[in-house]
Every structure is written in structure tokens, then in C-alpha cells.
Amino acid sequence: MRINAIAILLVLIPMSSISSFAQAENLNLMPQPERVVRREGSLAIDGSFRVALEGYTEPRLAAAAARLVRNLSKETGIPMNDRPEPDGSKATLVIHCDHSGEAVQSIHEDESYELEVTPQQARLTASTPVGAFRGLQTFLQLVAPGPAGFSAPAVEIKDRPRFPWRGLMIDVCRHWMPVAVIERNLDGMEALKLNAFHWHLSENQAFRIESKLFPKLQEMGSDGHFYTQAQVNEIIAYARDRGIRVVPEFDMPGHTTAWFVGYPELASGPGPYSIERHWGVFDPAMDPTRETTYEFLDKFIGEMAALFPDEYFHIGGDEVNGKEWLANPRIVAYMKEHGMKTTDDLQAYFNQRVVSIVEKHGKKVIGWDEVLHPGVPKDIVIQSWRGQKSLADAARQGYQGILSSGYYLDLMHPAWQHYAVDPMEGPTTDLSPEEKTRILGGEACMWSEYVMPENVDSRIWPRLAAIAERLWSPKQVKDVDSMYARMEVESRRLEFLGLTHRSSYLKMLDRLAGFQDSQKLKVLADLVEPVKEYGREDARDYNSFTPLNRLVDAARPESIEAREFAKLVEDWRANEARIRKVLTKWRDSTVELVPLMQRSNLLQEDLPLAENLSSAGIVGLQALDYLDSGKPAPQAWVEQQQAMLSQAAKPQAELLLMIVPSVRKLVQSAAGNGAP
């Protein structure tokens, strides 16, 4: 290693300034490593790139090294040899791993690594293969094109995660997600150092996994779209190769209609049952009062516990409305007989029985926060989704927990909002140090009512990267502008790894435009976002068969273009020329867009958005004219424009035109004719 004066100086800089130094140098690392020290020079990356493995090795490590080379080749467009170089001194990147990791990866797996890049060679050292996987992703992110070709800057990185549980849940029930969708999202998870894939496998709308003991579950409950056990094994192996645990969820006793199509005897109502085609919370629930229910679950959970190696098993437990229980006189009599006052008490009894079955099969239980009842065994993990308070309550009562409240990707919130949610802040701030150790991390959730394979990536990525950074990086890493800058780079890179969030957006716009040039449509599409939270539920009566091919399905959850326009308007004086150019483009966009939209049945509902965008362009330009004139805009004009903008701010075709607040700022400035 070459030590020079600059390097010695940098080592003495405290960590916070080291991190900002890394940002200033435009190292597009995401999540930010715990410690980065920039050295002088860089390592050239060209067609001679080779990897060598030293120390402990195993097939998945060798596979990860070869995958790194293939991904580097994809990202650079340079053909490369992905076979290991036997002579470490000739390799560009040397991976040194100390020993094997856990036979079944747990939350205690050592994921730390150190990466040193010099102008001569890069060296990655880790205790375990999983640590090496994390470091390989960092190395890949370091490589960027420069004036002298592709290179990785000379750095010294020491890194490890802040939280041991950093997950993504995908609901594969409301809409079917084939193996390829899961695998490409596992690739994305690996890139962002996430380590837990939570697989929501059963619901009212589908039962998505093959049971050999109870085949009517998938045969009658899935429309033929389910994972065979061979495919499940393939996905588990695929995830393990990337240092990702797979936690299956079988949501019970509610969210179970699809089970009852083939096995109505499990249910509390008289049946018959059919697959639920709508979204929402429904009445059907398992019958907690019959021993036959537990005999069934014992066999079923035994089968699934043997299939999934992870130590955790998710039993759901959310959103049981109790209606089917109260409608059954036999169940009501049972509750009375056993002194159960509410359906919550009955669910607590059910949970207790199921927890002991899961534990009998050698697993630990995880459940949504509704499972937190007095008397539930302390070794279960609470997944907090209804608010961060349940995470704090659980930790105080001795339970471990993970946070999902604030990380629901399906609610279409911007990345900064997820980024601001910290498992250790808010209601958990006051926990004792011991209680805090019970907070294991967090999980983003992708519920699939409004997504299909075509657009699910665009609802997960790139915003998941912001959550991944929150869960991996030191707590003080929270510069939002830096996060966005790095997230946008990562977003583009993820497409090279096989994600489709950017390419699919363009495809969907092409379809909307009748396979004509969709450039004009993109001007509008770039500036709209789907309504937030559960707004789509209220807008129309959706079901499993509703087409998801409208502009609202193509539009990204967060408009980066609108965010950038808002930044320009913050300092309109400095940015006036650029703002005028953008406003002019909007003003003129309708000329070609409106005829295109009028021709398409799919786009007619979006015509008001196009008109509003054009009006916003006109008004913005007028506001700038008033501002330039030095005289306040006439009151009547201001009122008229404010009214127009209030109309334009309303949802249209389940979409929001995101530039309205910025144009309103310009109008307000023109009214006062001072600086905004």
C-alpha cells in the first residue's frame, strides 16, 4: 500500500467529514458505507479486468465473483473474462474471505467487509462470503467512466450494516409475480445490500405455492398461477447466492379466502367460497374453535417449514374483522364457554396455538403488529405496520420488532419521505439501550393491488434504495439532496442488472400513444404521479381483472422532473432562463399531445391534465413577465390564476400534476413582486 501525505491527512479527518468528502468526490455509493477514505489516483477498468479468490472459497462466492465481472461487463460495455484468475498478483480485484458463513443465514450473519482500491489493484476482505457479496456491490458502484476511460477511484472503505434485518416484502397474490420478477428484484436487493425477502404467499385473492399434502390449496385457489416447490427451491438458492434470507408468509386467520375454495372446512362460515376478486378487508377467517383446523395447520406448516430453511416463519395475523366468527353461533358459544369477551381474545387464542405449531416445527414466529396480545410468547418478532408506536410498545414489552410503517412503497410517497423514517426515531427514541437492541431493522412493503409484472419494478425502484440506505448506513447519513443524486445514478445502473423500472415506463407510454412516438406524452407523464395512500381505492371499483394500462399505471410514484423544477423555482432569479425554457415547453406541449390523446381511448381521461400543464406554462411565463417588470401583478389576474391552479391541483384520472405548487409560488411572488 502506498502511503502519502494526503492519505495520512485524510485519515485524521473525523468520520462525518470523511463521508461528505466522499459525496463531494461524487462517489455514487448507495447505501453510504460506514467509513470512506479517498486516496490519490484510480484503478483503470478495461478488458483485462480479472478477479482472483484467496483464502476460503465456496461455489456461491466463485459464482458471485463471476457475476461481478459479467455485471461490470454489462455496465461498461467491455467484453471481459469472468473466469477466476489463479494468480492473485495478476488480478485487478482480489477477494479474500476468511471462513464460511452460517449454513442457514441468520440475522447474526457477519456482513462486514473492507475494500481497498489502489491504482494497482483492488482488494476486498471479509470474514464471510456474505460480507464479500456486500463489498462486491460497493466495488461495482465505484466504477464510473471518466476522461481516461472507466476506473474505480482509489479508496479505503470499512463497512458494516446498522441493522441486521433489511427487507423487502412482495405480495404475489393480488397480482401474480412470476419467478423472473422475483429474481430480478433479488438482484436489485443484492445491489442495495438488502438481506431479507419476505414472500407474501397466500391471500383472499390467491394461494401461490404448491402444497403436496393439500394440493387443492393451489389447484383451486390460484387460477393456475403458483410456484412449484422446485421453483421455490430455485428462488431460495438464488437468494442465498446473494446473501438474502427468504421468509415465507402465510397470513392467518384472516386474508384466507383462497384457502377455503379447496378446503371450506377450515373456514368459520358455511361457504361455499370462491377466490376473492376485489381489494379490501373481507370477512372470511379460519375457525379457531375446531381441533381439525390445527391438525390441518400442523401438517401444512410442517410441510412449509421443511421447504423454507429460514429460522423465521411469518403467520400474518393482520386485519381480522371478526364478522364471520360472530355470525357463527357455535363459535360465539365457544367464546362464551372459554371466557373470551372479544374476537381479539379469540384471535389471541388462535395465535397461541399457531405459534406453538410453528415452534414445534423448529421455527420462530414473525407476525404483523395485531399479533401483539398479552401472553403471546416473547420470542416472536413483531412487524410494525400500523404506526411506529407498535414497534416501541413491542420493544418495551420484550419483543423484537421490525419497522414497516413508513416503508409502504405501494402508497406512492416520495423517496425523501421514506428516507426520513428511522426505526430508532419517533416513538422509539425513549427506549432504553436494552430495549433498542430489540429493534432489528425494517422492511419495505410492496402490496400488489395496483401492480403487474410490467410496472411492479417502477413501484419498488428506485425508492427502495433510499430505504436500503436508511437501514444500512450510519444514522447521521441523511442529506436528502445527496441521496437523490445517488439514487438517480443507482436507478440507471439497476437497469443494467435487469430491473425494468425505466424501460418499462417507456414501453407503457408507447402503448398509450398507440405505438406512435411517445415523446410528447412523456413531457406530461414525467410530471404526474399516482394519487397517494389509498386514493385509487376510492376512485373506482377495481378488481383482479381491471386493466392496469392507463397513464396512472405507467406514471412513476415520484416525479424527479417536478422535484427539479421546484428546486429551480426556489431561486427563480438565478434560474429564470431555464425556468422560461421549461414553461415554454409545457405551454406548447398541447399542440401535438391533444390530438394524440383524443385518438386514444386510454388517454382521453388525461386530457384535462394536458390542458392544465399548458395553462401552468402560460401562467408561469406571465408571472415571470410581471416579476421582470418590477410591478406587482394585478389582483384580478392573481385571483384568476390561483383559482385555475387550485383546480389543476386536484386529482384527475387518479393522477396529480406535480408542478402546480411551484407555479403557484411564481404567481404568489408576482403578486407581492418580491423574492419567493
Please answer whether residues 640 and 600 qualify as being in contact, where contact means their C-beta atoms are separated by less than 8 angstroms. Answer: no
Number of chain residues interacting with ligand ACM (CB under 6 A):
4
Which residue, 318 or 495, has its beta carbon nearer to ligand ACM? Answer: 318
Q: Please, what is the minimum distance in Å from the beta carbon of residue 470 to ligand ACM?
A: 20
Please answer whether residues 641 and 670 qualify as being in contact, where contact means their C-beta atoms are separated by less than 8 angstroms. Answer: no
Of 40, 82, 298, 318, which one interacts with ligand ACM (CB under 6 A)?
318
Pull the grid cell for residue 609: 391534465
Which residue, 50 or 200, has its beta carbon nearer to ligand ACM? Answer: 200
Residue 199 binds ligand ACM (CB under 6 A): no
Q: Please, what is the minimum distance in Å from the beta carbon of residue 279 to ligand ACM?
A: 12
Please answer whether residues 49 and 69 qualify as being in contact, where contact means their C-beta atoms are separated by less than 8 angstroms. Answer: yes
Which residue, 318 or 435, has its beta carbon nearer to ligand ACM? Answer: 318
Site for ligand ACM in 222-251 (CB under 6 A): none
Residue type, 451: V
Residue type, 421: V
Q: Please, what is the minimum distance in Å from the beta carbon of residue 138 to ligand ACM?
A: 33
Closest Cα partner for 323 from 355, 353, 347, 348?
347
Pull the grid cell for residue 333: 358459544
Quick one: DSSP state of residue 495? Answer: H
Residue position matching grid coordinates 367464546 = 335
Q: Please, what is the minimum distance in Å from the beta carbon of residue 538 to ligand ACM?
A: 17
Which residue, 319 or 576, has its beta carbon nearer to ligand ACM? Answer: 319
Q: Please, what is the minimum distance in Å from the beta carbon of residue 466 to ligand ACM?
A: 20
Q: Please, what is the minimum distance in Å from the beta carbon of residue 316 to ligand ACM?
A: 8
Which residue, 403 or 656, has its beta carbon nearer to ligand ACM? Answer: 403
109 tagged catalytic:
no
- For residue 7, give the H/E element and its range: helix 5-11
Of 82, 183, 319, 345, which one interacts with ligand ACM (CB under 6 A)?
319
Q: Please, what is the minimum distance in Å from the beta carbon of residue 385 to ligand ACM?
A: 4
The contact pattern for ligand ACM, residues 630-669, with x = CB under 6 A and - = no contact, is ----------------------------------------
For residues 428 and 436, what is the distance between their CA atoms, to the nearest angstrom?
A: 8
For residues 337 and 330, what is the distance between their CA atoms, to the nearest angstrom?
A: 10
Which residue, 350 or 385, has its beta carbon nearer to ligand ACM? Answer: 385
Q: Please, what is the minimum distance in Å from the beta carbon of residue 204 to ligand ACM?
A: 11
Cis peptide before 661 (omega within 30 of 0): no
Vertex 103, ends 59 and 467: CA angle to 5°? 90
Cβ neighbours of 328 (radius 10 Å): 18
Cis peptide before 253 (omega within 30 of 0): yes
Q: Residue 125, SS3? A: strand
Site for ligand ACM in 362-401 (CB under 6 A): 368, 385
The contact pattern for ligand ACM, residues 46-85, with x = CB under 6 A and - = no contact, is ----------------------------------------
Which residue, 156 or 171, has its beta carbon nearer to ligand ACM? Answer: 171
402: left (phi over 0), alpha (psi -120 to 50) or beta: beta
Please answer whether residues 555 and 529 qualify as being in contact, where contact means their C-beta atoms are separated by less than 8 angstroms. Answer: yes
Which residue, 318 or 611, has its beta carbon nearer to ligand ACM? Answer: 318
Q: How many helices (H) and strands (E) does the chain have?
A: 27, 17
Query: Catalytic residue among 40, 234, 319, 495, which?
Result: 319
Residue type, 107: I
Residue nearest to ligand ACM (CB): 318
Pull the grid cell for residue 482: 445527496
Q: Where are the beta strands (DSSP E) in 475-536?
A: 528-530
Residue position matching grid coordinates 401535438 = 592
Catalytic machinery residues:
319
Instruction: Give the binding site for ligand ACM (CB under 6 A).
Output: 318-319, 368, 385
